[in-house]
Chains A and B, each alone.
Chain A
Amino acid sequence: MKNLKLKAARAGMDLSQDDLAKKAGVSRQTISAIEKGDYNPTINLCISICKILGKTLDELFWTEE
């Protein structure tokens, strides 16, 4: 499932996938895979992304089924 919340939060801060990847210490492809829903990140990476984007885990990674 695509993570549109992450994509929106990133775009809201005017960050490219590459910018976010550099800040989080991962590759651009990893950020792309998370946004596409192709990769489930570890809790450590989720927290790192949340801190960079100023969001909580719920706001970026919780999905209502």
Chain B
Amino acid sequence: MNYSNGKMLGVGIGIIAGLIISFFVLKAINKDGKAKTKYDEMQKIARGKAYQYAFWAMVACEGLLCWLTSGSFSLPLDGYTLHFMVILVGVLVQVSYCIWNDAYIGLNNSMGRFAAVSIIISLVNFAFAGFSIAEGTMVKDGVLQSTSINLLVAVLFIVIGLEILFKKITDNGQKED
């Protein structure tokens, strides 16, 4: 097995492990212990729109990348990181729209457990990013490597956390008006 196939296998195993972990994380953050988060009718409509905006945001990003890379222009990112960033843009758009339209926190979500899991995920990713920086594997020949994804995910979780916090503050001001 050459390096490329080995990396592909590693990423594949990583994705499967991620899906399995996500299943248990969802079970842990839901008050009823079920993996499926429940949303009411208004939240379902908002989430549908959020997926729509996320889809077009990803299409726009990929289109932009196609255009940029069609010429001699090259971004200081490796291919894997580049496409993962597009996924993160989609996730950010979807999550942000849901947060600001009261459709992110489901009916059976436990806010405390949700916050705890988010903080843990963020810290773990920051730790891995720290190791990469310390080992000098994050940037190679001026190109950002796939290990930078940990940093991006950690920052994404902080942005999501801050958005939820701001929304909660604005909601408390408008409660029962």
Residues of chain A having any CB pair with chain B under 8 Å: 16-17, 25-27, 29-30, 32-33, 39, 41-42, 44-45
Contact = CB atoms under 8 A, between A and B. Distances in A.
Contacts of A17: 175-176
Contacts of A29: 42, 102, 171
A39 B42 CA distance: 8
B107 interface: yes
Nearest to A33: B42
B176 A25 contact: no
A27 B41 contact: no
A30 B176 contact: no
Contacts, number: 34
Contacts of B175: 17
A8 B25 CA distance: 41
Contacts of B174: 32
Interface size class of B (residues with CB under 8 A): 10 to 19
- Where chain B touches its partner, the secondary structure class is loop
24 contacts: A16-B176, A17-B175, A17-B176, A25-B40, A25-B107, A26-B40, A26-B41, A26-B107, A27-B42, A27-B102, A27-B105, A27-B107, A29-B102, A30-B42, A30-B43, A32-B176, A33-B42, A33-B102, A39-B42, A41-B42, A42-B41, A44-B41, A45-B40, A45-B41
Interface of B: 40-43, 102, 105, 107, 171, 174-176
Nearest to B176: A17
Contacts of B41: 26, 30, 41-42, 44-45
Contacts of B102: 27, 29-30, 33
A25 B42 CA distance: 12
B176 A27 contact: no
Nearest to B41: A42
A31 to B, nearest CB: 10
Contacts of A25: 40, 107
